[in-house]
């Protein structure tokens, strides 16, 4: 696998704050990989996701480098899809589901509205929305939380991006729906050969599918590596604490060789 992005010495500071939200981060993003960014609230993991996506708020100060193999950062919506934590706030309450999913395909793929609506329907079918034709005409408040998150995933993938970032996309859902959404994400990115960056506070949730994990604490990258290696032999006390806090954490997967 090839490296998509080399993150070097990345520091992000928000306006009015002296302590950086991210402190001199070095991390690689590898093409086709499922990378889990894990940490507690305030650890900097969502800041990293937004920095990679070019979605940091105005006033945020960024230092360091993000060197993309293509020579330029990915275009949000076209090259990079983003699934936010709360679909209730990321979906527009006054637009029907069909229009919201079709918009990305129309704008970024240059499709007509008619063709974009056909693609939107196929995407809803692909993320296993119940009664997709009916859902096309529905509004976000008429769907359950799990269904809204599936819509958000469909919208993020409508323009066929190469990278998908899911920022705490399962944290507002119950455990059964969480597992369904994670399984769906895993299936979709495998099928399309996409790169997935999965942001979560739940190391157990990530352990079942992530190729590699990066552990964050207080804006710092504590450790990173192949998932099986980190879970079987964590080098940092904080990682050991995270693992110990999940008694239901499955036996670590077999340690895999790094991709050539």
Q: Residue 249 has what pLDDT? A: 55
Q: Residue 247 has what pLDDT? A: 53
Q: Which residues pair with 221 in a beta bridge?
A: 216
User: Beta-carbon neighbour count of residue 123 at 10 Å?
Assistant: 23
Distance CA(160)–CA(162), nearest Å, equals 7
Q: How far is CA 196 from CA 31, 148, 156, 206, 232, in A?
A: 9, 20, 12, 12, 23
Q: Taking the domains of the chain in order of start, what are their residue ranges?
A: 1-71+206-260
Question: If DSSP codes are grouped into helix, strand and coil, which group holds residue 84?
Answer: coil
Q: Residue 32 has what pLDDT? A: 94
- CATH topology for 1-71+206-260 is Rossmann fold (3.40.50)
User: Rounded to two decimals, what is the model's pTM?
Assistant: 0.90
Per-residue pLDDT of the chain (260 residues; tens, 9 = 90+): 799 999 999 999 999 888 999 999 999 999 999 999 999 999 999 999 999 999 999 989 999 999 999 999 999 999 999 998 887 788 999 999 999 999 999 999 999 999 999 999 999 999 999 899 999 999 999 999 889 999 999 999 999 999 999 998 887 677 888 888 888 899 999 999 999 999 998 888 888 889 999 999 999 999 999 999 999 999 999 999 988 887 555 444 433 343 33
Q: Is the dihedral of CA 140, 90, 28, 173 positive or negative?
A: negative
Task: Work out the angle between the directed axes of helices 113-126 and 97-109 (0-180°, nearest 10).
Answer: 120
Distance CA(172)–CA(177), nearest Å, equals 10
- Render 241-259 in DSSP notation, one character per residue: HHHHT-TTPPPPPPPPPPP
């Amino acid at each position: 696998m090839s490296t998509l992005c080399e993150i070097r010495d990345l520091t992000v500071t928000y306006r009015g704050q002296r302590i950086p939200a991210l402190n001199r981060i070095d991390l690689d993003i590898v093409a086709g990989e499922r990378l889990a960014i894990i940490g507690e609230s305030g650890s900097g993991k969502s800041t990293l996701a937004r920095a990679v996506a070019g979605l940091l708020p105005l006033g945020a100060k960024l230092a360091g480098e993000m060197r993309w193999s293509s020579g330029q950062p990915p275009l949000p919506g076209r090259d990079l899809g983003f699934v936010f934590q709360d679909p209730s706030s990321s979906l527009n309450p006054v637009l029907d589901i069909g229009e919201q999913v079709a918009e990305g395909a129309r704008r970024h793929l240059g499709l007509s509205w008619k063709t974009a609506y056909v693609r939107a329907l196929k995407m809803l079918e692909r993320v296993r929305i119940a009664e997709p034709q009916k859902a096309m005409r529905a509004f976000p408040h008429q769907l359950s939380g799990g269904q809204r998150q599936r819509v958000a995933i469909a919208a993020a993938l409508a323009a066929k991006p190469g990278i998908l970032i899911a920022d705490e996309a399962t944290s507002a859902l119950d455990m059964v729906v969480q597992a369904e959404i994670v399984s769906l994400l895993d299936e979709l990115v495998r099928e399309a050969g996409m790169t997935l960056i999965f942001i979560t506070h739940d190391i157990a949730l990530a352990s079942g599918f992530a190729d590699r994990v990066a552990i964050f604490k207080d804006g710092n990258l504590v450790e990173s590596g192949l998932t099986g290696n980190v879970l079987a032999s964590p080098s940092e006390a904080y990682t050991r604490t995270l693992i110990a806090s999940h008694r239901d954490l499955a036996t670590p997967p077999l340690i895999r060789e790094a991709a050539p």
